[in-house]
Amino acid sequence: MPNGNLKLAIQKSGRLTEKSLQLLKTCGLDVENYKDRLFVTVRNFPMDILFLRDDDIPEYVQNGVADLGIVGENVLLEKRSVVDIAKKLGYGRCKLRIGIPEYEELENIEGLNGKTIATSYPNIMQSFLNENKLDSRVIQISGSVEITPSLGIADYICDLVSTGTTLQMNKLKKSFTILESEAVLIKYKELEMNNEKAEIFSNLLARIESGLNAKNSKYLMMNIPKNSLKKIVEIIPSLKSPTVLSLADENMLAIQSVIPADKFWEINEDLHNEGATDILLLPIENIIL
């Protein structure tokens, strides 16, 4: 790949793969079918995508073999790689938590003293213990950490939890959170030394930001009685002042506005009560602020 293209490493096959590809698509990047390929060149943007195991991504970016990478904060912190976090991406959310046998109680973190904790994240766990001046034994397990208490290998575990089902299935329950994690875009520290790549990167980042803004927003349209305008404008959590348009019916107005996606169901009833009709809520592809 001896070209001037920006190189982005993403997970080849796993929980972050689909959402990372979706993000690139939202950025208008045309990524060809990547199955069984180690890298592909984006058709309409000067960028190559490398498909790697997530554990390898921080090191590739630290060394500048890849200019950028998408990886969970959990993996990044565990690897202790020296890279910049360019953007939090809002997906792949999970928590690294202490799991304890369901019949036990752990009232405060001092209860970890003297215990053996099995984890695939020994560095993060040990840092947490050091910061809190706790004395536990950490044992590193590469997979199926959740079965170690029942095998008598460990008292507690420290593992990623999202719904908690895996813990429950192993007769464990969640306790303290050690880390909250989401997917992040990481960047080679010296990327900006290369002017061309710096320019491509700033273009990509602007596209990612507009895509993320759009994902969190919806376009709201409705017709309202003219005399409800003031109240309805107060109800709508607009990002900017709503657009007000006149209609053929002189007693009615049309309102259009961009709102935070999660707010709609909170205001829907109030809008109806003020006489709003024909309410439409539309997805937005991009917002360029």
Q: What residues line the site for ligand PRT (CB under 6 A)?
A: 11, 14-16, 53-55, 72, 74-75, 92, 94, 159-166, 181
Gap between the Cα atoms of 24 and 7, Å rounded: 13
**C-alpha dihedral (57, 61, 67, 70), degrees to nearest 10:** 40
Residue 159 in contact with residue 146, Cβ under 8 Å? yes
Residue 161 interacts with, from Zn ion, ligand PRT, none (CB under 5-8 Å by kind)? ligand PRT
Residue 87 interacts with, from Zn ion, ligand PRT, none (CB under 5-8 Å by kind)? none
Smallest gap, in angstroms, from Cβ of residue 75 to Zn ion? 7
DSSP state of 92: S
Residue 114 interacts with, from ligand PRT, Zn ion, none (CB under 5-8 Å by kind)? none
Smallest gap, in angstroms, from Cβ of residue 260 to ligand PRT? 24
Among residues 30, 55, 199, 278, the one that binds Zn ion under rule CB under 5 A:
55
Smallest gap, in angstroms, from Cβ of residue 62 to ligand PRT? 17
Residue 276 interacts with, from ligand PRT, Zn ion, none (CB under 5-8 Å by kind)? none
Residue 272 in contact with residue 235, Cβ under 8 Å? no
CB-nearer residue toward Zn ion: 54 or 67: 54
* Contact stretch for Zn ion (CB under 5 A) within 54-62, 157-165, 181-189, 201-209: 54-62
Residue 100 in contact with residue 168, Cβ under 8 Å? no
Residue 10 interacts with, from Zn ion, ligand PRT, none (CB under 5-8 Å by kind)? none
Gap between the Cα atoms of 26 and 216, Å rounded: 13
CB-nearer residue toward ligand PRT: 102 or 135: 102
DSSP state of 242: P
* 159 near Zn ion, judged by CB under 5 A: no
* 54 near Zn ion, judged by CB under 5 A: yes
Residue 131 in contact with residue 92, Cβ under 8 Å? no
**CB nearest ligand PRT: which residue?**
72
Smallest gap, in angstroms, from Cβ of residue 41 to ligand PRT? 22
CB-nearer residue toward Zn ion: 54 or 274: 54
Gap between the Cα atoms of 203 and 61, Å rounded: 19
Residue 155 interacts with, from ligand PRT, Zn ion, none (CB under 5-8 Å by kind)? none
Gap between the Cα atoms of 231 and 28, Å rounded: 39
What type of residue is 151?
L
Neighbours of 25 (CB within 10 A): 12
What type of residue is 128?
F
Residue 27 interacts with, from Zn ion, ligand PRT, none (CB under 5-8 Å by kind)? none
**C-alpha dihedral (166, 168, 169, 172), degrees to nearest 10:** 100
Residue 35 in contact with residue 46, Cβ under 8 Å? no
Residues that bind Zn ion (CB under 5 A): 54-55
